[in-house]
Amino acid sequence: MEDYKFLFKVVLVGNAGVGKTCLVRRFTQGLFPPGQGATIGVDFMIKTVEVDGEKVKLQIWDTAGQERFRSITQSYYRSAHALILVYDISCQPTFDCLPDWLREIEEYASSKVLRILVGNKIDREDREIPVHVGEDFASRHNMYFLETSAKEADNVEKLFMKIAEDLMQQARSKDLLRYDKDTANITGKTSVITDSNCCSRLT
């Protein structure tokens, strides 16, 4: 049995080239990858972090932005605990596509999913989307907002840690709810997001 108490699934979406893979690499491996190819399908990475002295395992799914991988990537929305929607602050079209992405999220993700809007590449000089425009969009759609640079490691750690903290808080309050409900039950033991992997004996 691995040594962690909470397991959360985080899925990154957004147009190809906005820097999703770089954000994930920066966070999980602490580097800015030089010229890797576009993501094929879905990439998978794990990082365990500590929040309030508890081990939290983040399962990070980095999706390909292109349309033709959509039927693969869509299948990951449903069980996501957090969805990071990324655009490139130096590229208007990636911002213009956000409503399309939101529609996808509405359709496939759980309504309770934690949603974060991220404007990436703030190290670049040629900004096209002012901060307040991104902020506005996020607040209109009930999302967290953060601007990052995968290249300069700006706000990347903060992004994922904030997600871990928020989800943990959610899970805890849900656990309390469950606990109350369960006192009436026969066996009274349920684990919520703690990973009761049915395959763990095979790993």
Q: Which is nearer to another protein, 42 or 153 (CB)?
A: 42
Which two tokens mark 92? 């208007």
Q: Does 39 bind ligand GDP (CB under 6 A)?
A: yes
- From the list Mg ion, another protein, ligand GDP, none, which binds 144 (C-beta under 5 to 8 Å, kind-based)? none
Least distance from ligand GDP to the Cβ atom of residue 89, Å: 9
Residues that bind another protein (CB under 8 A): 9, 37, 40-42, 44, 46, 59, 68-72, 75-76, 78-79, 184-187, 190-191, 195-200, 202-203
Q: State whether residue 181 is helix, strand or coil.
A: helix
**Site residues for Mg ion per CB under 5 A:** 20-21, 39
**Cα torsion at 101, 105, 156, 23 (round to 10°)?**
-60
**Which residues from 69-128 bind ligand GDP, rule CB under 6 A?**
120-121, 123-124
Six-digit token string for 10: 């985080």
d(Cα 4, Cα 57) in Å, to the nearest integer?
Answer: 6
Q: How far is the CB of 171 from ligand GDP (least distance, A)?
A: 28
Does 45 contact ligand GDP by CB under 6 A?
no
Which one, 9 or 20, has the nearer CB to Mg ion? 20
Residue 185 CB, shortest distance to another protein, in Å, is 6
* Distance between CA atoms of residues 105 and 127, nearest Å: 26
Alpha helices (H) in the chain, listed in sequence order = 20-29, 70-73, 92-96, 98-108, 131-140, 156-182
Residue 159's CB: how many other CB atoms inside 10 A?
A: 23
C-alpha distances (whole Å) from 181 to each of 5, 29, 114, 194 are 21, 41, 24, 18
Q: Which is nearer to another protein, 37 or 53 (CB)?
A: 37
* Residue closer to Mg ion, measured from CB, 56 or 86: 86
Binding-site ranges for ligand GDP (CB under 6 A): 16-22, 38-39, 65, 120-121, 123-124, 149-151
